[in-house]
Amino acid sequence: MSKHDSKTTENVHTEFKEHMTYGEYLNLDQLLSAQNRLSKHHDEMLFIIIHQVSELWMKLTLHELRAAIDTIREGDIQEALKMLSRVSKIQTQIIHAWDVLSTLTPAEYVQFRDDLGQASGFQSYQYRMVEFALGYKTPHVLKIYEKDPELHKELRSAYEAPGIYDAAIEKLDEAGFEINKDLINRDFTTIYQSDSSVETAWQEVYKDVDKYWDLYQLGEKLVDIEDWFQQWRFRHMKTVERIIGHKSGTGGSSGVSYLKKVLDHRFFPELWDIRTSL
């Protein structure tokens, strides 16, 4: 070892009999032993890790979205903006994961697809919770999780809770805009439908940015999140088409056809419509 190497490592901690290590802090033994292949095929490891990494990113997305919803409702939009910016950055990471998965060819995937049984990304409960937080409420998905009462209860709670756009509409109402009162106390288990009073309010916000700076920034953060989410959906759809074509999904969904259909949904419709009317 050179003198230079010795100097750069002389203060490095090497005694950990009574101290926590990096691996212990991150529970790496548990994390890195969770890749249990059902087949002997080499490429199944890629398939498992991509989905596990995506689930970790979704966990952080939910952590940020839930905090942002609470923070907006409490009146601190600026603090929520940082959380929403982080969500957008997370979304870019999940999108790029599809680039890695797309290296899996149809001939490789077919070697272990049958081993998955009926397990499918369609059953990702965290993905459903992200959809719920963004206001896309689909009751049929709750049945999938009835086998786990605690998880089903958590999903039901998320299903019935207001989403990020409901929190934003509350702020428009509190800012003095004439928002349809039926929206403030609406049934949050229903998918939000565009409302002219909300569109008018957002138009005023975008026409007087200086006066409504916080609301304007919030509107743009929401557009960022929807934009990235739809790009994620599109990359998902194209990756599935590339690997299995138009076969049905392992979970029984129609596969590419289903993924194309959900691309048409808009989470925050008025924020898109005002771009035409401004």
Asked whether 224 and 271 are in contact (CB, 8 A), the reply is no
Residue 72 labeled ligand binder: no
CA distances from residue 158 to 68, 90, 125, 161 in whole angstroms, order as listed: 14, 21, 11, 5
Nearest-angstrom CA–CA distance, 137 and 171: 22
CA distances from residue 178 to 65, 72, 123, 194, 269 in whole angstroms, order as listed: 26, 19, 40, 15, 18
Question: Which residue has 């750069």 as its token pair?
Answer: 8
Nearest-angstrom CA–CA distance, 218 and 275: 15
Q: How wide is the angle at C-alpha 77 spanned by C-alphas 71 and 80, nearest 5°? A: 55
Residue 235 labeled ligand binder: no
**Helix locations, 189-268, DSSP H:** 196-207, 213-244, 256-262
The H or E element spanning position 174 is: helix 164-174
Residue 236 labeled ligand binder: yes
Q: Which residues contact 21 (CB under 8 A, 6 or more apart)?
A: none
Residue 51 labeled ligand binder: yes
Residue 265 labeled ligand binder: no
Residue 71 labeled ligand binder: no
Residue 109 labeled ligand binder: yes
Asked whether 90 and 61 are in contact (CB, 8 A), the reply is yes
Residues annotated as binding site? 47-51, 109, 113, 236, 250
Residues annotated as binding site for heme? 236
Residues annotated as binding site for substrate? 47-51, 109, 113, 250
